[in-house]
């Protein structure tokens, strides 16, 4: 980024709410299914139907707004956002315009050790559109598109940030924090690969020190953290090149071509007046009892920042470790459940960040899909701490636990992996190793400390890795003086 310009970034994030039914009808919200089967006259917008607001949608919108430190409106309403795209059959989307359910919130991010508060302008409820399936590799090159209306009417909240971000890294950190908060509150499954969390990025450049914003472009439907960061980085460079060559930025909507690593123009950017918003005459205004809002506030779980602080202050984890553990609710809950059974937080954190995440990533699995349960990991760590198995054995056992879901005690018994901690049994092996390795014995007695490591290794080899290495070390040193 040239020092001549400053980038200004704002994000509009759409999150599908985790309700069983759609926002204005009883059709299922289940992902997938045969095309155009999760539909009814209401979500298809057929003549004569009337939408009815799903109360769970309102509760989830309020819940998300409270977690994002927003003001909750006691009075809001729904509006019709008119446009003529084929993904909404009634040619308008039911959304909220001038009176959203939540506004004036914020969340905190941290990039390169520096904390920053990002403002949230508003959170509003709306229905999702259908899904266009393009006939070519990209929307820009397709000769035709098909439409699946199963997604039409699935409830969304749109979370609009202030233009407070100044780099692609900040935008990514904001998105990651937002995803974690929505997951913790339980309002969305935030599965970016299934489109239940997706982002539009508004990007502009202005001369360093200027107060006026530059002309912005919008990149639509970014559905991964990597795509978000790469698309913004590319767009910053594209706009900078145009400005430095004396050109002007055109306000437009663009898409991200992952294969080519470029943004491409889709259409000129609409303004709010282009949508001809007006209040939806089929839906009554939303009036909320403050007591109900308080009940929702009281039911909020411990959120990522609070949990991270607790792990640092009460459990002694480093900021880095606590940040990894609290990055997702599923992982944080898994950690808490293991610690409840085996109260050694640092050891538990090391295993979760090491072996557990390594195997999850290698097998492309989520925490909930793991066959290893928290109680089983706690049992394994107890067995290691009690000297039943060595650290090396524990990793072997854990790999089989991960693959089969068996309890550690079962695997240890089946494989005869119990660690040998009997001094009498090990003493004979130690004697044998000393007799077979006179040179190493002499080296150790001459002051070469590394020689003891070789001798320990020979004992481990003789016992097929089952000897207690600490005890072997002690026996060797006692024997060699």
Each domain of the chain, given as residue ranges in start order, spans: 5-292, 302-415, 423-480
Half-sphere exposure in the Cβ direction for 340 (13 Å, CA): 10
pLDDT value at 139 more than 80? no
E-strand ranges in 96-240 read: 102-111, 114-127, 131-134, 145-148, 155-161, 197-207, 217-222
Is the pLDDT assigned to residue 1 strictly greater than 60? no
What pLDDT, on a 0 to 100 scale, did the predictor assign at position 272? Answer: 67
**Measured between alpha carbons, how far is 54 from 61 in angstroms, rounded to an integer?**
11
**Dist. CA 99–CA 373, nearest whole Å:** 45
Confidence of residue 266 (pLDDT cuts 50, 70, 90): confident
Amino acid 194: pLDDT: 83
Q: Residue 238 has what pLDDT?
A: 96
Work out the percent of the chain whose per-residue pLDDT is above 90. 75
| Residues above pLDDT 70, as percent of the chain | 98
pLDDT at 269: 64
Instruction: Determine the average pLDDT of the residues in 250-277.
Output: 85
Which comes out higher in pLDDT, residue 54 or 4?
54
Q: Which long-range contacts (CB under 8 A, 24 or more apart) does 396-402 make?
A: 398/351, 398/355, 398/372, 399/355, 399/359, 401/371, 401/372, 401/376, 401/377, 402/356, 402/359, 402/370, 402/371, 402/372
| C-beta atoms surrounding 9 within 10 Å | 23
| Mean predicted lDDT score pLDDT of the chain | 92
Torsion of Cα atoms, 347 then 351 then 352 then 355, to 10°: 170
d(CA 364, CA 15): 23
Confidence label for 3 from pLDDT (cuts 50, 70 and 90): low
Q: Is pLDDT of 449 > 90?
A: no
pLDDT at 11 over 90: yes
Mean pLDDT of 234-245: 95
- 330 pLDDT band, cuts 50/70/90, is very high
Other C-beta atoms closer than 10 Å to the C-beta of 123 total 24
Provide mean pLDDT across the span 315-334.
94
Contacts 24+ apart (CB under 8 A), 286-291: 286/53, 286/58, 286/75, 286/76, 286/77, 286/78, 286/101, 287/74, 287/75, 288/58, 288/62, 288/72, 288/73, 288/74, 288/75, 288/76, 290/74
Contact predicate 163/148, CB 8 Å: no
Which residues 6+ apart lie within 8 Å of 434 measured at CB?
Answer: 441, 455, 476, 479, 480
Which pLDDT does position 438 carry in this prediction?
A: 93
Question: How confident is the model at residue 270, as a pLDDT?
Answer: 66
Determine how β-strand 197-207 pairs with β-strand 131-134. unpaired
354-369 average pLDDT score:
94
CATH code of domain 423-480: 1.10.10.410
Instruction: Check residue 461 and give its pLDDT.
Output: 87
Coil vs helix vs strand at 72 = strand
Percent composition of the chain: helix, strand, coil (DSSP 3-state, to 5): 40, 20, 35
Q: Rounded mean pLDDT of 371-392?
A: 92
Angle at the Cα of 124 from the Cα atoms of 123 and 126, rounded to 5 degrees: 145
CB 305 within 8 A of CB 323: no
> What is this structure's pTM?
0.82
| Rounded average pLDDT over 222-251 | 95
Does position 79 have pLDDT exceeding 90, yes or no? yes
DSSP 152: T
Q: What is the mean pLDDT of residues 52-71?
A: 98
Per-residue pLDDT at 416 exceeds 90:
no
> 145: helix, coil or strand?
strand
pLDDT band at 466 (very low <50, low <70, confident <90, very high): confident
Residues ≥6 apart with Cβ < 8 Å to 303: 67, 181, 184, 185
* Angle, CA of 389, 395 and 399, to the nearest 5°: 125
Least confident interval from 130-144, 289-303, 434-448: 130-144
> Predicted confidence band at 471 (pLDDT cuts at 50, 70, 90)?
confident
Query: Bridge partners of 323?
Result: none
Specify the 3-state DSSP secondary structure of 119: strand
Nearest to 411 by CA among 394, 391, 386, 426: 394
Q: Are 195 and 229 in contact (CB under 8 A)?
A: no
The label of the residue with tokens 């299914």 reads 33
What pLDDT is recorded for position 460? 85
pLDDT at residue 156 is higher than 90: yes
The answer to whether residues 108 and 117 touch, using CB atoms and an 8 Å cutoff, is yes
How far CA 323 is from CA of 112, 117, 470, in Å, comes to 13, 17, 33
Q: H or E segment at 477? A: helix 469-480
pLDDT band at residue 152 using 50, 70 and 90 as cut-offs:
very high
Name which of 269, 290, 307, 294 is nearest 177 in CA terms.
307
């Amino acid at each position: 980024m040239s020092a001549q310009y400053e980038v200004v970034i704002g994000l509009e994030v759409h999150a599908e709410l985790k309700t069983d039914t759609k926002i204005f009808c009883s059709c299922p919200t289940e992902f997938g299914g045969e095309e155009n089967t999760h539909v009814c006259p209401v979500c298809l917008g057929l003549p004569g139907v009337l939408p009815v607001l799903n109360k769970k949608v309102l509760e989830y919108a309020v819940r998300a707004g409270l977690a994002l430190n927003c003001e909750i409106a006691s009075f809001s309403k729904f509006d019709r956002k008119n446009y003529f795209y084929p993904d909404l059959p009634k040619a308008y989307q039911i959304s909220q315009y001038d009176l959203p359910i939540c506004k004036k919130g914020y969340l905190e991010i941290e990039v390169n050790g520096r904390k920053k508060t990002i403002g949230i302008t508003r959170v509003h409820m709306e229905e999702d559109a259908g899904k266009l399936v393009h006939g070519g590799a990209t929307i820009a090159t397709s000769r035709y598109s098909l439409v699946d209306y199963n997604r039409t009417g699935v409830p969304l909240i749109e979370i609009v940030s202030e233009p407070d971000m100044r780099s692609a890294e900040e935008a990514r950190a904001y998105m990651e924090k937002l995803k974690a908060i929505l997951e913790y509150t339980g309002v969305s499954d935030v599965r970016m690969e299934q489109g239940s969390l997706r982002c539009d990025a508004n990007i502009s450049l202005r001369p360093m020190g200027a107060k006026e914003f530059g002309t912005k472009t919008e990149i639509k439907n970014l559905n991964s953290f990597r795509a978000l960061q790469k698309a913004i980085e590319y767009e910053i460079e594209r706009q900078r090149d145009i400005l430095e060559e004396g050109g002007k930025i055109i306000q437009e909507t663009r898409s991200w071509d992952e294969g080519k690593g470029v943004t491409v123009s889709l259409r000129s950017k609409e303004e709010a007046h282009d949508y001809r918003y007006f209040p939806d005459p089929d839906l009554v205004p939303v009036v909320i009892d403050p007591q109900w809002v308080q009940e929702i506030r009281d039911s909020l779980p411990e959120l990522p920042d609070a949990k991270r602080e607790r792990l640092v202050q009460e459990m002694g984890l480093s900021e880095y470790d606590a940040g990894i553990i609290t990055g997702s609710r599923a992982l944080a809950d898994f950690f808490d459940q293991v610690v409840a059974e085996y109260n050694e937080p640092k050891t538990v954190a090391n295993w979760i960040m090491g072996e557990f995440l390594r195997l999850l990533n290698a097998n492309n699995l989520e925490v909930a899909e793991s066959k290893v349960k928290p109680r089983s990991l706690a049992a394994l760590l107890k067995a290691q701490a009690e000297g039943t198995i060595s650290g090396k054995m524990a990793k072997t056992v854990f790999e089989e636990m991960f693959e089969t879901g068996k309890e550690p005690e079962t695997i240890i018994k089946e494989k005869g992996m119990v660690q040998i901690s009997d001094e009498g049994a090990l003493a004979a092996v130690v004697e044998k190793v000393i007799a077979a390795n006179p040179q190493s014995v002499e080296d150790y007695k001459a002051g070469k400390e590394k020689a003891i490591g070789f001798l320990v290794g020979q004992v481990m080899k003789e016992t097929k890795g089952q000897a207690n290495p600490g005890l072997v070390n002690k026996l060797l040193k006692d024997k060699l003086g």
